[in-house]
Structure 1
């Protein structure tokens, strides 16, 4: 397990951004009868394997990801092809106070256009996907890698499986007018971090306090009648963890400490499954190579 030199808030932010999403769901109980192709008594391994395979087979979707974290509302929207042989993605991201960013993945090359990068005549910068991943060392806090993973539900599903998620409840409900199966899953936060590629040393007082205070991470997975993900949702309260870590470090937090800022909301929503996706690289005369990492 690798070590990551993160503060308490850094761990919280990294986990929140990697999960990617935000908001709430209102589910109305409906009568049984939704056939997702997955038995309601299934274990996590079978559930994740089935949903991931159906995602790969269907290949494409439109997705929206909203992250509520540290008082900010971050929104990502895009479309993607999940064909393992030729993945493609186009994502736009809006961050309060930081403007917008646009990222495209085409033919294993990442194209980025963000405020403060590039030039007026060449607003896009490019870097091969493998070079980007190698340069970042799998850093889960890197926003580019975060956005690429946010578009592919199989990434999140695999992280849930690797983290030893446990299905605690299964029920039929409706979501945005369609019948779905809702799976309530609990995940260990430390295992979740490790599955994201950000393995950490648990010996430090910060992380011991974090794990003790968080307990488990509750998640909701919604599958439609075809067994495809339509929403993955997570809500995590890091406020007690931050207080605990502060106390262990001899830094008592003030009475007016904004605990609400450390309550994270994350939702990934998918629709238009199977709709053909056409994503092209930006015009060559508008692209320059990204600076060396």
Structure 2
């Protein structure tokens, strides 16, 4: 059960991929982001190289302007997931459904608290549909898993912001089709290690230990639409293929915490 919970939290952070310092998106910021998109971007062609941080800055503004998105992730044998994310407040909100080790799980993240639902949780929480992981909670689950929520929230904030964590990285235009541009980003082990050390990259499976096992660095393929909004992100981490797809930018989402009567807590078994 503990492994399932850890995997679920890791997947939820990865799906909303991005690690940024500030999640604030007030009306003024949204207005500026919208204005920044009015100026046409400089034309690029296949083979051109651009600064990854500059690309991330433009995309981050577009994401903040939209405020919400739908996302899916395919992590092969590790599971699949899809979610709605609301970026518009000071803290992101997320509602996710995923499959981990063959079991369907539901996750809701609201007001910095994670709610997890599934058959296994109901059995161990007195029949309640949901368990609660609160970074300020006193129960064993919150004490054990709560510290992960801060890093996971930073991974939800804005999918473009994560790219700023890789200092000096470049993106090469791989293809241009129908207004969508795909870039390839090759990161060295040194760049990855620096980002992981300062927790600037919420990449699933990417830790200081896993970096030691990598013979080389890592390659991303990133696709953005004409407005610089992320469409897809694919990579290979230690032989594990990962692909994320973003859609429905700016469409209304309604994400609420479960009713208190449906939420329980439980103590993890000691063996």
TM range, normalised to the smaller chain? Answer: 0.5 to 0.7
Select the residue among 113, 119, 122 that pairs with 1:115.
119
Long gaps (5+) in structure 2: 1-8, 17-38
Q: Secondary structure at the match of 1:56?
A: helix
Q: Please state if 1:78 is matched with 2:54.
A: no
Residues 217/83 of structure 1: CA separation in 2 closer, same or farther (3 Å cut): same
Q: Please state if 1:59 is matched with 2:64.
A: no
Deviation per residue, 1:238-261 (Å, 9 max, x gap):
3xxxxxxxxxxxxxxxxxxxxxxx
Counterpart for residue 265 of structure 1: 241
Q: Please state if 1:128 is matched with 2:134.
A: yes
Distance in 1 (alpha carbons) for counterparts of 2:175 and 2:260: 49
Residues 168/127 of structure 1: CA separation in 2 closer, same or farther (3 Å cut): closer
Q: Does structure 2 retain, via aligned residues, the 8 Å contact 1:182–1:220?
A: yes
Shift of 1:192: 4.5
Q: TM-score, normalised by structure 2?
A: 0.67
Deviation per residue, 1:95-124 (Å, 9 max, x gap):
234x01110012332211133223464121
Residues 67/17 of structure 1: CA separation in 2 closer, same or farther (3 Å cut): farther
Distance in 2 (alpha carbons) for counterparts of 1:289 and 1:61: 30
Distance in 1 (alpha carbons) for counterparts of 2:243 and 2:13: 11
Counterpart for residue 48 of structure 1: 56
Counterpart for residue 98 of structure 2: 93
Q: Please state if 1:170 is matched with 2:166.
A: no
Counterpart for residue 183 of structure 1: 183
User: How well do the aligned residues superpose, as a CA RMSD in angstroms?
Assistant: 3.7
Deviation per residue, 1:29-61 (Å, 9 max, x gap):
xxxxxx973664541111111111211221101
Q: Does structure 2 retain, via aligned residues, the 8 Å contact 1:104–1:281?
A: yes
Residues 185/16 of structure 1: CA separation in 2 closer, same or farther (3 Å cut): farther
Counterpart for residue 232 of structure 1: 233
Counterpart for residue 196 of structure 2: 193
Q: Does structure 2 retain, via aligned residues, the 8 Å contact 1:36–1:227?
A: no
Distance in 2 (alpha carbons) for counterparts of 1:59 and 1:193: 27
Shift of 1:183: 1.2
Distance in 2 (alpha carbons) for counterparts of 1:80 and 1:59: 8
Q: Does structure 2 retain, via aligned residues, the 8 Å contact 1:37–1:227?
A: no
